[in-house]
Amino acid sequence: MRPSVRYLVSLIVGLVVAGVAVSAADAPGFLPVAIAPLYAATTVLVLRHRDGWKRLFRFGDQRWSDRKRGALGGGIGALSFSLLLAVSVPAGLVGIGLMLFGQALTVADYESLPE
């Protein structure tokens, strides 16, 4: 994917998610402002390293410890997201965005390692 298209798509994703947060927010604040760059940066990383993401979702020979780690991470992420969403929609969106951003950075770092 060309970088210009990748950045345009990421900008649109960031603005749409921020728009949802602003429309669902009860009170104005600075938290929805943080959503657009967070989701835009995450989208750029995911689109740039989409082959690494595809490798993550392949089912192959998975060890039991890998499954337990995935279940633990998913459970903690879901609990934290639901509690942040109970506080406010923008807080929940920032929480899930930060989790996705961390995963995108990890995939990008893993792909940059020499084989």
Distance CA 92, CA 77 (A): 11
The tens-digit pLDDT sequence of the chain (115 residues) is 788 899 999 999 999 988 888 887 765 677 777 889 999 999 999 999 888 887 777 766 667 777 788 788 888 888 888 898 888 888 888 888 988 898 898 888 888 777 6
Q: What is the pTM of this model?
A: 0.80
